[in-house]
Every structure is written in C-alpha cells, then in structure tokens.
Amino acid sequence: MAALLKLGYFVVEKAAVPLAFVIRGAAENNELFRSGCIRMARAVGARERVRQGMWRWDAQRRVGPEVEMEVPTSERRAVAAGVEMLSEGTVLFAGLGFASRLWQIEADKERALQVERVAWRHRTEQALQAILAAQQREQSRLQAAAQRVHAKRERNLHAGAVLITSAVGLIGAIATSNL
C-alpha cells in the first residue's frame, strides 16, 4: 500500500510541473499572490519543524516548553515552495474530483444495471406465472374432457350391459317360447 501511495505522489508531482510554471508566472506578476505563497510556504515549514521536533528526545526539549524558532526562508525559495504546494494540491484535488466523478458514473451504471436486472426478473416472473396459469387452465380443461369421456364410456358400458341383458333375456324368451 505504501508503494502505491508513493507511486501516486510521484504521478501528482510530475503532473504538477507544467501547472507550477504557470503559477510561478502568476506569482511573479502579482504581489498579493506572491505574498500568499510565501506565507503558506513558511506556515507549512514551521508546522513541519514543530512536528519533527516532537519526535526528538534530546534533553533540552524534555526539560522546558517547546519553542520553535522560525528558520528564515528566502523569498525566492518560499515562493517556489508555495507554488509547488499549490500546483500539487490543484493536481491532487482535480485528480480526486475526476476519480470521484468516475466512481459516481460507475455507481450510476451499476444502479441502472441493477434496476434493469430487477425489472427483467419481474418480467420473467410474470411470464412464468402466465405460462403456469395457462398450463393449469389446460390441465383443468383436459381433466374435464377426460371426466366427460370417462362418464360417456361408463354410460356406454352401462347401455351395452343393459343391451346385452336385454338381448340375453330376449334370446331366452324366444328359446322358451319355441320349445
């Protein structure tokens, strides 16, 4: 992970170089902008010196309160440091904004795809339910037809049995009357 962060910072540094030239030109032409760059660079430098001083364990720092002396920075170096910080910050925030927008676009695509999946699943379920209902209606119709055929067969068998019984009875009557 640290290597990835170093690589990212390297990319930001290299991408900020052209922007730094433009900002440096603006700082040379505008006194207010130049003084802002100087103040920012000196404030960050003082903060870094305080942060580094916290980790020193020499006897002088442990005895009394920490008092950091501001190391005077030349105006030229302060402007260069301020311009570098501004350009790197601009590139970093632009890159983060771009990455955030890409992430948002991908998230929107994923949400749209998810909505489409849900809609497709719903349409599929409705189609399957319609097919199932049609099959159930067809099964009921076939069962009713089978019951009608069975009832007709039973009637025919009954009629055939009656006819046979009648025929047997008639033959028996004819045979007894001929005797």
* pLDDT, tens only, 49-98: 665 555 544 444 555 555 444 444 677 777 888 888 888 888 888 888 99
In a domain, 144, yes or no: no
| Angle, CA 42 vertex, CA 37 and CA 45 arms, to 5° | 125
In a domain, 143, yes or no: no
User: Cα dihedral sign for 163, 164, 167, 169?
Assistant: negative
pLDDT digits (tens, 9 = 90+) for 107-164: 999 999 999 999 999 999 999 999 999 999 999 999 999 999 999 888 888 888 888 8
In a domain, 108, yes or no: yes
Q: Which two tokens stand for residue 54?
A: 């916290």
In a domain, 70, yes or no: yes
Domain that holds residue 26: 2-118
In a domain, 88, yes or no: yes
pTM over 0.75? The answer is: no
Helix (H/G/I), strand (E/B), else coil: 65: coil
In a domain, 18, yes or no: yes
Half-sphere exposure of 52 (CA within 13 A, CB side): 8
**Helix axes 2-29 and 75-177, enclosed angle (nearest 10):** 130
Q: Which two tokens stand for residue 159?
A: 């009629």
In a domain, 95, yes or no: yes
Helices and strands (H, E) in the chain, number of each type? 4, 0
For residue 114, how many other CB atoms are within 10 A of its CB? 10
Measured CA to CA, the distance from residue 54 to residue 61 in angstroms comes to: 9
In a domain, 39, yes or no: yes
Asked if 82 and 38 touch (Cβ cutoff 8 Å), the reply is: yes
Nearest alpha-carbon partner for 5 in 102, 92, 130, 116: 92
pLDDT digits (tens, 9 = 90+) for 150-177: 998 888 888 888 888 887 777 877 878 7
Number of domains in the chain: 1
